A and B are shown apart, each in its own frame.
Chain A
Amino acid sequence: MNPFSYVRPTTEQDALAALAEPGSVALAGGTTLVDLMRLEVMRPGKVVDLNGLPLAKIETGASSIKLGALATNTDVAYHPDVVAKLPALADAIRAGASGQIRNMASVSGNLLQRTRCTYFRDNVSPCNKRAPGTGCAALEGFTRMHAVVGTSRDCIAAHPSDMCVALAALDAIVHLKSRAGERTVKLVEFHTVPDDHPNVESVLQPGELVTAIEVPTTPLAAKSRYVKVRDRASYAFALASAAVALDVQGGSIKDARVALGGVGTKPWREPAVETALVGKPATPETFTAAAQLALAKADPRPDNAFKVELARRVIARTLALVAGGAK
């Protein structure tokens, strides 16, 4: 880990000023930053500890729940309103990492977490994300954990978050603040695909801070679940996961949201599947048929080609899970 200077601002103003300096990085829970700094993959000159700021509240409003950027994953996942009104979100967070990590990780840190691609992390292999222009060692390498969609010739790294998949399905909105002002971005537009600049992962600008993520508490959102499939029962990243919300009335699907994890370079909404579900009867046949439309543009590698079919089955399984509860 490189030597750095450490500051712990007590006001948002001071934090934004510190973050505007070149070479500054925000520290929230530390579960991504400290890890990548120890690997020498990230080398900020200044670490700005945000934990003195009052950004940890979880606020239930009339039509949405606002998750403060520094609320811990645990606090969100077990918050009674989240559990009741956004069950896929609670499921998703609980399916991630471990109890200890969930106690440390923040909402904004989970949003901004970085890929687990081994070639990115080893600090030696050609990696366009870590070292632009050096190539992508994963393309012809071991790709079991890599993305099958949203990829490019420059990068196939999967986005590892569970929380973000649920947020994508639940139409979440990211609140941002900088010295220039505030803005909001839809979560599905927050993360970017690698294209030819995999070193850029989101629309967050230098000097900008995530202050909250807001999730609408619609009737649709209340009927949502998350299913994660991995290589062992716990403490592992997804091979494929799905967050699904289904509004079923009189046995017929009125509205649907489907998002995939483990397979995309960013959390992956599936509008084709959603469209195919609406208006149909909520039956296993419908679910399977609609799920087959997922990942139509998948471009897998030999090691991860199985994820395409797996993801489709996970969608069908999750749909059945939600529909089963809806009866």
Chain B
Amino acid sequence: MLAFARDWLPPRASDSELRALRSHLRGLGAELVIVGARQAWRLRPDDDLVALGELAARELHRDHGGREDAVLVLDHDGSVMFEHRQLHVDHSTLLAGLTAATEAMLSSAPMLFTRRGFVGTCVVSGFAAVVLAACHQKEHHDPDPAPAAAPVPAPVEIDVVLDVNGTKRPLRIEPRVSLLDALRERLNLPGTKKGCDAGQCGACTVHIDGKRVLSCLTLAAAAQGKPITTIEGLGQGDLHPVQKAFIAHDALQCGFCTPGQIMSAAALIKENRATTDDEIREQMSGNICRCGAYPNILAAIKAARGGQTG
């Protein structure tokens, strides 16, 4: 990698900057040449910074058309594969430039900006997110900068059996399929709704092992081995008391949040935490109703809890 950084100077490079640069290069199996105004330096992941001389700097300027403020990724032959231009490459922005150029290379496109953003090596509190296996599988001393095959497995489907509403339903799906999408798109059970797909609205509430949970944040593969109940299976033939109460008290309007409300309420009553009005309101706050049926939802839950439905 070649970085034209007019204002870059070794004395100004902090330990943490060099550490970060080395870490990045190590992950790629690459080396970096920094071309300043008059001098050039080479940085390899496990070596000291080496000055290449003013002549080398002049030649690099000449070879690459007097570029300023660009980070280039070169192949073995020195041909420019990718170029990242940014306003000013200096100590604070050099790593960003490398990062962006790296992403450009890995996504095989010349660009300034990736929609996906940098897929970086992050060691984060046990959730070790890995870039691409290319970075990890390569030995750090391997000088070959060519991108390797994608490390994430090609979509592989696995056999999953979901116990839904009392019936075992076999599926062949990718592990990334959520329980919500398994129900709606593959098991023809669209009663459970997708309101946000991010665990922020409660519309997707189902029961797993009798407990109310969000199916959008549950992987279908991880929901195996436990009984799952959806709104379609709550009544088991007749209407559940909560369903009856919702009708009688008009605890719904558009009805989209309703399956989630009912599943949540039914489980809440079983949890025995639906005692006072304020407690019910609080415990049902994980189910958003934009139509504002809350007062009637409260009334319906009290009626259903008390054994009455009307």
List residues of chain A with CB under 8 Å of any chain B CB: 1-6, 8, 19, 22-27, 30-35, 37-40, 42-45, 47, 49, 51, 74, 97-101, 103-104, 112, 114, 123-124, 126-127, 129-135, 196-197, 199-202, 204-206, 208-210, 233-235
Segment of B139-147, B153-161, B163-171, B245-253 in the binding face: B153-161
Q: Is the interface of A mostly helix, strand, loop or mixed?
A: loop
CB within 8 Å: A-B pair count: 198
Min Cβ gap A204→B in Å is 4
The answer to whether B241 has its CB under 8 Å from any CB of chain A is no
B126, A112: Cβ atoms closer than 8 Å = yes
B214, A100: Cβ atoms closer than 8 Å = yes
Interface size band for B: 35 or more
B156, A23: Cβ atoms closer than 8 Å = no
Pairs A–B under 8 Å by Cβ, sample size 23:
A1-B176, A2-B176, A8-B222, A24-B128, A30-B222, A31-B199, A31-B214, A32-B127, A33-B127, A43-B129, A51-B222, A99-B273, A100-B214, A123-B117, A129-B122, A132-B118, A133-B24, A199-B123, A200-B125, A201-B125, A206-B126, A208-B126, A234-B282
State in angstroms the CA–CA spacing of A37 and B176 once bound together: 9
The CB with the most chain B CB atoms within 10 A, among A5, A6, A51, A98, is that of A98
Instruction: Assess A133 versus B20: contact at CB under 8 Å? Given A25-B129, A45-B152.
Output: yes
Min Cβ gap A327→B in Å is 25
The answer to whether B9 has its CB under 8 Å from any CB of chain A is no
Closest to A209 in B: B126
Residues of A within 8 A of B284 (CB): 99
Residues of A within 8 A of B155 (CB): 3
Min Cβ gap A67→B in Å is 17
The CB with the most chain A CB atoms within 10 A, among B24, B124, B127, B174, is that of B127
State in angstroms the CA–CA spacing of A202 and B267 once bound together: 36
State in angstroms the CA–CA spacing of A114 and B222 once bound together: 21
A3, B156: Cβ atoms closer than 8 Å = yes
B20, A23: Cβ atoms closer than 8 Å = no
List residues of chain B with CB under 8 Å of any chain A CB: 16, 20, 24, 95-96, 98-100, 115-120, 122-130, 133, 136, 151-156, 158, 174-176, 178, 197-199, 202, 205, 211-214, 216-219, 221-222, 264, 267-268, 271, 273, 281-288
A34, B174: Cβ atoms closer than 8 Å = no
Q: Which 4 A-B pairs have the closest CB atoms?
A: A98-B286, A133-B95, A23-B130, A131-B118
B221, A6: Cβ atoms closer than 8 Å = yes
B213, A104: Cβ atoms closer than 8 Å = yes
Complex partner residue of B222 from A19, A49, A123, A234, CB under 8 angstroms: A49
Closest to A234 in B: B285
B133, A45: Cβ atoms closer than 8 Å = yes
State in angstroms the CA–CA spacing of A126 and B99 once bound together: 11
B129, A100: Cβ atoms closer than 8 Å = no
A132, B152: Cβ atoms closer than 8 Å = no
A31, B217: Cβ atoms closer than 8 Å = yes
Residues of B within 8 A of A34 (CB): 178, 216-219
State in angstroms the CA–CA spacing of A322 and B122 once bound together: 41
State in angstroms the CA–CA spacing of A40 and B126 once bound together: 17
